[in-house]
Amino acid sequence: MGEPSAEGIRIRLFAGLREQAGWSEHHWPAPAAHPHPTPRQLWLALQLPGELSSVRVAINHEFTTADTPLHDGDELAFLPPISGG
């Protein structure tokens, strides 16, 4: 797995997804051997419940795709279906 970086990636879950997974925040120590995982890879690695296609992905507070490479220090969020307003 290689040596984890200083910062790694902060992963956040919300609402129903948070409750299904049983956690709200996770620190992923980005290994030197695989420094740029994608949200899709982390979704699988963390064995998150349900289909990735049913959630939206945000990196550093901006919507993006599940295949955007992550960087050390990024904040990744998996957002279940929104119901604002």
Partner 1 sequence: MTVMSLHSSPPSAVAEAEDLQLKVDLCSEAFEPFACLEQWHRQLAAIGRWSAANSHFIGRVRSMATNGTPLLALELEHYPGMTERQLQQLATALCSRHGADSCLIQHRIGRVLPGDAIVLVGIGADRRGPAQRCCQDLLEALKHDTPFWKREWRSDGTGEWLIGNTPL
In the complex, which residues of this chain contact partner 1 (CB under 8 A)? 12, 14-16, 19, 58, 61-63, 77, 79-85
The nearer residue to partner 1, 22 or 85, going by C-beta atoms, is: 85
The nearer residue to partner 1, 48 or 77, going by C-beta atoms, is: 77
Backbone angles phi, psi at 44, to 5 degrees: -70, -45
The Cα angle at residue 14 between residues 12 and 18, in degrees rounded to 5: 90
Q: Which two tokens stand for residue 55?
A: 């959630």
Q: Shortest distance, CB of residue 57 to partner 1, whole angstroms?
A: 12
Q: Shortest distance, CB of residue 3 to partner 1, whole angstroms?
A: 30
Q: Shortest distance, CB of residue 20 to partner 1, whole angstroms?
A: 10
Of 57, 55, 72, 64, the residue nearest 9 (C-alpha):
72
